[in-house]
Amino acid sequence: MFAWVAGVVLFSILCAHAIGPDPGALRESVTKGPLLAQAALPMRGPTAAAFDMGSRIMAAGFGQVMAAPSRFFSIPPRSLVIPKPKPTPAFKYTFNVLLKRPEITDRFDYLILEASLRHGLDPRLVKAVIAAESEFSPQALSPHGARGLMQVLPMTANELGVPGHRLHDPEQGIRAGTAYLAVLYKAAWKKYRLNGVGYKDAPLWVTERIIASYNAGPRALTRNSFMRQTRNYVRKVLLFYGSDVTEFRRGLKPASYAGRPDAQPRVDTLP
């Protein structure tokens, strides 16, 4: 009798494994587990469509935030995903001012493109960070000592191989900022097991965490709660990212510097 009961129990277990876990239970376990510990779990049918982060997301009238296609089923971490950021009055004012000044917003396009290409980054995202950090002013200086177009601390720049005292130079500032972004991308790719995926194909929620980390430090890659200032910063970068301010209207090498690879624009001669 005991052998018969044991056989029935064993048969039931084998059948359960053959059929597979209940989808609802699986989603619940993923949601409650570590952040994307199951980053590569494939999904099919309506559920996959519901969690797909590869659609174009409108940015409240300021263009489109581009969420690159994701090949993975991934539960977006809580407390940060901002699919439709709403522009504040302060942002609208800054946006309108910058939109009317392409001579200001586009003057570093070739430097942004070169640095982004070097690290495999999305140049529009880099330009959006510049817009949010310094509004394209190479002389920008934060109360905490961050400098230049991408507001990098001199100590951080030195660690990245860029002289901290040269951050006000547009080329060096962009070089340091993109190098730091590349460090954050590399850390995120390792944390969320995204090997084989290009940085430009990052799911939107990963991009948001990288933006938050640029503002709040690398630990933000794994946080579940964020200060309001960081959340507002992410919204601001996303709004710029999907706007005409981050369009590229100049080529990789401006005509005035053609044939002079060593020549760089002087800050005091920029408009």
Other Cβ atoms closer than 10 A to 3: 7
d(CA 189, CA 186): 5
Tell me, yes or no, if 133 is annotated catalytic: yes
Check 28, 133, 171, 208 and give the catalytic one.
133
Return the sign of the alpha-carbon dihedral for residues 127, 133, 136, 141: negative
**Pair of tokens at residue 95:** 């946006």
Could you tell me how many residues make up the chain?
Answer: 271
Residue 31 near residue 73, CB atoms below 8 Å = no
Query: What is the set of active-site residues?
Result: 133
